[in-house]
Amino acid sequence: MVRRASSVERGKVLELRTVLKEYASGAAALRRSEGQLQQVRELLADADEASAGEDTAAATNVDALFHRAVVRASGNDLLVEVYDYLGTALTASPGGPAWDATHAEEHARLHRRLVDAIESRDAGGARDAAAAIIQLTRDHEATTTRAA
C-alpha cells in the first residue's frame, strides 16, 4: 500500500488525504480528550513558529506532527494506523514548492480554524477546515505549476 501511494500522482494522494483528514477532524471534535486538545494546540504554536522561520523542512515536519495528532484525537485506532502506515505519502510537504506569504498566512489561519472547531466540538466545522486546508494545498500547487 505504501508503494502504491508513493507511486500515484499527488492529486490522488491528496484526495485520499482529504477523505481521511475530513473524517478524522470531525471525529476528533467529538472524541478528543483535553490532553489531546492541549497537544494539538501546542503543535499549532510550534507550526506557527516554524513557519515564521526559513527552515521549510522543520515547518513541514511540525505540520506532519500536527496533522497526525488530529488524526490520533479521532479515537479511531484503525484510522490512526492507516494514516501512520501511509504517512510518508499523506504528510508530504503541503504543496511541494515554498509557500508565499499569502498562502502561508491562509494555511496558518485554516489550522487555527481547525483547532478552534475541535476545541468547540464542532464536527462539521472541523471537517470543513480540514477540507479547506487540502484545497489550499491544491490551489497553491496549481498556481505554482502554472507559474513554472
Q: Is the dihedral of CA 59, 14, 105, 146 positive or negative?
A: positive
- Asked if the model's pLDDT at residue 90 lies above 80, the reply is no
State the pTM of this model. Answer: 0.85
3-12, 55-64, 101-110: which has the minimum mean pLDDT?
A: 3-12
**Domain spanning 2-147, CATH architecture:** Up-down Bundle (1.20)
Amino acid at 10: R
Rounded percentage of the chain residues whose pLDDT exceeds 70: 87
Domain boundary assignment for the chain? 2-147
Residues 6 or more apart in contact with residue 128 via CB below 8 angstroms: 117
65 versus 18: which is more confidently predicted?
Answer: 65
Helix or strand or coil: residue 122?
Answer: coil
Residues 144/96, Cβ–Cβ less than 8 Å = yes
